[in-house]
A and B are shown apart, each in its own frame.
Chain A
Amino acid sequence: MDLIADIMIVLLVTVGIIFTIVTVIGILRLPDVYTRAHAASKSATLGVMSLLLGVFLHFWWNEGHFSVALLLGIVFLFITSPIGGHLMTRAAYMSGVKPTELTVGDDLKEAVIEIRIESDKNTPDDE
């Protein structure tokens, strides 16, 4: 029983570290901010989540301490990190960061232009 528990904990922590490394490699290798956001928002989530889960199981099974704070941390991470990825890409796009030349299509361009025109109409000039 102890052996199985230890194997699971080590497995979870290893997977967490592997995905964290994948995040770093992704941020270094991918060409622009949008593709980097993919690596950062996904791999970092699962990486840190499985690390926290491994720590949680270790303290529960080997030390007999049931830590609710770690579980809460997992849930909070799960909720907040996709929104973080979304906000970063949106802020980048709205402030005009160019995607790489590899980008095939861009449906968002017209929508953003429309938004600009709308907001220009609504804000009066202070001159």
Chain B
Amino acid sequence: MAFQILLNFFIAVVWMFMSSSLTPSTFIIGYLIGLLMIIMTRRYFSGRLYIWRIWSAVKLTAIFLKELIMSNISVLLLVIKPDLSTLQPMFFALPTELEKDWEITLLSSLITLTPGTVVVHVSDDQRTLYIHAIDVDDVDEAIDSIKNTFEKAIMEVSRG
């Protein structure tokens, strides 16, 4: 992916030199032409076309922002609840299929910012996340769905 972006920049710079006008608009035109060239020759590259990866990263950011706002509203509702003794916090384990360090870091940050969950510990073999949930009754099934969307979105970004 990084190679494709570098190549695209390189083509844009070459375009700027060829048209001998070093302005941002020439750069953008050259970049678009380079993008077109990469799209046409994409079967010579090993990974996917890099714009799809950027697109999935944008989608991940959108999910992140949405979850952040949702989690704040849920904390707000929780905190102003008159009776806090019905609260049922719980530590639970969550197996994960992600392997690379940055993926696990990203997943734990996402989980920490989602409604009702904070990551407490990552096991040494990096296969299990230990999570503290603030209220257990709605969490257990909600967590699985959230985790699936997050894990899927992260895999989407990191895949080839």
Chain A interface residues (CB < 8 Å from chain B): 18-19, 22, 25-26, 29-32, 34-35, 37-39, 41-43, 45-46, 79, 82-83, 85-86, 89-90, 93-94, 99-100, 102-109, 111-112, 115
- 8 A-B residue pairs with Cβ-Cβ distance under 8 Å, sorted by A, are A42-B75, A43-B75, A86-B118, A99-B91, A102-B87, A103-B90, A105-B91, A111-B128
Q: A35-B89, A37-B118, A107-B130 are in contact. Are A46 and B112 (CB under 8 A)?
A: no
Complex Cα gap A93–B84 (Å): 22
Q: A25-B79, A82-B109 are in contact. Are A108 and B118 (CB under 8 A)?
A: no
Q: For residue A96, give the distance in angstroms from its CB to the closest CB of chain B.
A: 13
- CB neighbours (8 Å) of A115 from chain B are 124
**B34 within 8 A of partner (CB):** no
* Pairwise interchain contact B84-A29, C-beta atoms closer than 8 A: yes
Q: For residue B132, give the distance in angstroms from its CB to the closest CB of chain A.
A: 5
**B72 within 8 A of partner (CB):** yes
Report B68-98 CB contacts with A as 1/0, cut-off 8 Å. 1101100110111000110111111100000
- CB neighbours (8 Å) of A82 from chain B are 108-109, 112-113
6 A-B pairs with the lowest CB-CB distances in the bound complex, closest first: A82-B112, A107-B93, A82-B109, A26-B79, A108-B91, A108-B130
**B119 within 8 A of partner (CB):** yes
Complex Cα gap A29–B92 (Å): 23
- CB neighbours (8 Å) of A37 from chain B are 118, 132
**B152 within 8 A of partner (CB):** no
* Pairwise interchain contact B120-A41, C-beta atoms closer than 8 A: no
Q: Which of B75, B87, B118 contacts A85 (CB 8 A)?
A: B118
**B5 within 8 A of partner (CB):** no
With both beta carbons as reference points, the residue of chain A lying nearest to B64 in the complex is identified as A78
* Pairwise interchain contact B88-A38, C-beta atoms closer than 8 A: no
**B14 within 8 A of partner (CB):** no
With both beta carbons as reference points, the residue of chain B lying nearest to A80 in the complex is identified as B109
Complex Cα gap A43–B72 (Å): 6
Complex Cα gap A89–B80 (Å): 23
8 further A-B contacts with Cβ under 8 Å, apart from A26-B78, A82-B109, A102-B85, are A22-B80, A34-B118, A38-B116, A100-B89, A103-B89, A105-B136, A107-B93, A111-B121
Q: For residue A22, give the distance in angstroms from its CB to the closest CB of chain B.
A: 5
Q: For residue A122, give the distance in angstroms from its CB to the closest CB of chain B.
A: 12
- CB neighbours (8 Å) of A111 from chain B are 93, 121, 123, 128, 130
Q: Which of A26, A34, A86, A104 contacts B136 (CB 8 A)?
A: A104
